Amino acid sequence: MAKSKDKIVWFGMKLSPAEKNKIKKLAKIYGSTQKDAVMGLVESSLEAYEAAEIANKVSERVSRYAGVIDEKPDLSTNKKHLDGYGAGSLS
């Protein structure tokens, strides 16, 4: 996690004791400070969101091509194409 030394801003919020304890527990699990535990989750959430956005854009761009490629049917559904393959060819 990259830390910027440019300008530090105060971001305070009120938490219930239960919420604060959850952050403490998370920091203990991660073996980090409370701030690093929270920021780690923020970073991973943003990365997941951005990856999903990219996937959605790609999906939208290629969806217009769905069904336009004329393929031959699956040859495995026609038994004559399977002659000579597998256990049936041992006889």
Average the pLDDT over each of 1-5, 26-30, 75-79 and give the range with the smallest value. 1-5
- Domains: count for the chain: 1
In a domain, 52, yes or no: yes
Query: pTM of this prediction?
Result: 0.56
Is residue 50 domain-resident? yes
Dihedral Cα 81, 83, 88, 91, nearest 10 deg: 180
Q: How many CA atoms lie within 13 A of 16 on its CB side?
A: 3
pLDDT tens digits for 54-91?
988 888 888 877 776 666 666 566 677 667 776 555 44
Residue 1 lies in a domain: no
Residue 54 lies in a domain: yes
**Structural domain for 50, as ranges:** 35-62
| CB atoms closer than 10 angstroms to residue 37 | 20
Q: Is 91 part of a structural domain of the chain?
A: no
Q: Is there a domain that residue 20 lies in?
A: no
The 10s digit of each residue's pLDDT in 10-26 is 888 999 999 999 999 99
Asked if residue 48 is part of any domain, the answer here is: yes
